[in-house]
Amino acid sequence: MTDGSTGSGWFHDIDSHELGAAREAIEQGEAEEPADWPQRAVDAGFADDEDDYYDLLQEATIRTTQEVVRERERAGDQQLTYSIRAMDDCERMANELSERAAEWAGGLFTDVGSGVEDIRVVADRDPETAAERRAVSIATRVADLADEAEAIRAFIERTAPSVAPNLSAMAGPVLASRLIALAGGLEPLAKKPSGTVQVLGAEDALFAHLEGHAPSPKHGVIFTHEYVRETRPEDRGSAARAFAGKLAIAARIDHYSGDYREEIHEELRERMATIRARAEDEPDTTEGDR
């Protein structure tokens, strides 16, 4: 690597133990043609000999890779991925544990329901026996998990619009984060065709279809959005395709430019209005069937 004017390498003017400076030089440096960099490093006093040069280069490149990985892990889309998975785990564990807590508390207290909110009531009780203390303790864990899930959801709703403004506005912060997580990040999502976006989260059904055991799925997690869920069954395929198409465009805009584009949201609203208007346009055959 060289600065082009002196022909010096990435190690130029860098102390051999300054890994931060070495990382920056390795990332930003370039060379027009190969050179005998180990010998130049020795001549410059950067390394004692060729072996020492390669040891220092390895140390610097490992540090560079570690820092790049850390930066990517701290990126907003990765934080959304971790958040949505953590929220799902908290909700799942809270629901599963609430059943166990209700079973235990039901044998100790009266009028114990099985839902998470019912278990909160148990968590507020004052236990009098060792068994009651354990049952109340389990109920408290359920309440804590449910509270954590709600806190993570609030974090997602605050964070997602800044990471993916168009996707969040179109799908809602939680569904947007779920799509990002399923795709493996915002960039992978932005590179997926709309047909793939449409069935994200329906991989099991898709594989079953490919093996000839089931029909092709019309939608994956996007079914949770009102545009798909609240459209009549015979029009859901069209709604899912239209929705997925705009979601794919929104992801690309968010990844490559990051600016909010109202026009794509208006286009989607108009398209969904057209699809839903089909039910109103179809003739009423009630009288003829009588």
Per residue in 80-122, pLDDT (tens digit) is 999 999 999 999 999 999 999 999 999 999 888 888 989 999 9
Residue 149 and residue 172 in contact, taking contact as beta carbons nearer than 8 Å = no
pLDDT in tens, 220-279: 899 999 999 999 999 999 999 999 999 999 999 999 988 999 999 999 999 999 999 987
pLDDT in tens, 147-203: 999 999 999 999 999 999 999 999 999 999 999 999 999 999 999 999 999 999 986
Cβ-Cβ contacts under 8 Å for 109 (sequence gap 6 or more): 122, 125, 132, 135
- Measured from the Cβ of residue 270, the count of other Cβ atoms closer than 10 Å reads 10
**Residue 174 identity (one-letter amino acid):** V
The CA–CA distances, whole Å, from 240 to 88, 147, 228, 237, 289 equal 24, 33, 6, 5, 32
Cβ-Cβ contacts under 8 Å for 214 (sequence gap 6 or more): 205, 208
- Higher pLDDT, residue 182 or 33: 182
Indicate the SS3 state at residue 151: helix
Task: Give the global pTM.
Answer: 0.71
